[in-house]
Structure 1
């Protein structure tokens, strides 16, 4: 893995860690202004206030994520990060929530040398199970 690929993976992992800690400011800092996040398949959200609300609501369930691998492809100032994930969380009444998916994210290299997400779709696996 080269330096750019490692930096892209680290950016995604840093956002995931912030999300698990309910640090919504740090989560939002992982995205470019106007970024699209897909909380529900086929329904991207780009409004910053709505993103904050959605992330905050989900973080309240204290999610813990694990990735079973990472693939990063970089071309110039653009990268794609693909990773299968699993999540365990709990509702306020203690019920366990388990989800899994395939994250597909597009990131762009920033002037400060960081990488930020433009598109974040954790539901990429749904296309693999669609009936034809």
Structure 2
């Protein structure tokens, strides 16, 4: 039985959307479902990525071939914009096959679209910049 894809009808549900599509292992589906057009991600300290570069910034996470889990810790909403603080972790096997974990705390800005669905506008997975 396949799990139905979640829809972010509230800001904190965007976290569920991200985890669902990440765990499917397809970065393009994740970008289509989670990010607003022209969204930005903190690719590395002092830089942002958008468009094709956004995908490149996500690929190192996908290369772990792991499963992500997480939860929204705080949500601050102002109309159709929300600030989320969320904790996340990817469980994976390292190059020797040993269980490993990689994670952090993300600060994300999401916006409610005309269709009523919340999508990420700014993704800062490690609170850098």
TM-score tier, shorter chain, comes to 0.7 to 0.9
* CA RMSD of superposed structures (Å): 2.6
Unaligned residue ranges in structure 1 (runs of 5+): 128-132
1:84 aligns with 2:90: no
CA distance in 2: counterparts of 1:97 and 1:42, whole angstroms: 28
TM-score, normalised with respect to structure 1 = 0.75
Q: TM-score, normalised by structure 2?
A: 0.76
For 1:82-121, list aligned pairs within 5 A. 82-91=85-94, 94=97, 96-121=99-124
Structure 1 residues 109 and 63 mapped into 2: Cα distance closer, same or farther (>3 Å)?
A: same
Structure 2 unaligned blocks of 5 or more: 1-7
Over residues 61-98 of structure 1, what are the superposed CA-to-partner deviations in whole Å (9 max), with x where a residue is unaligned? Answer: 22222325521111101001101222222356636542
Q: Which residue of 1 aligns with 2:24?
A: 21
Aligned to 2:48, which of 41, 44, 47?
44
Moved over 4 A (4+): none
- The 1:118–1:49 alpha-carbon spacing in structure 2 relative to 1, beyond 3 Å, is same
Is residue 77 of structure 2 the alignment partner of residue 74 of structure 1? yes
Q: CA deviation at 1:50?
A: 2.1
Check whether the contact 1:85–1:100 (CA below 8 A) recurs between aligned residues.
yes
Does 1:123 find its partner at 2:120? no
Question: 2-side partners of 1:107 and 1:123: how far apart?
Answer: 16
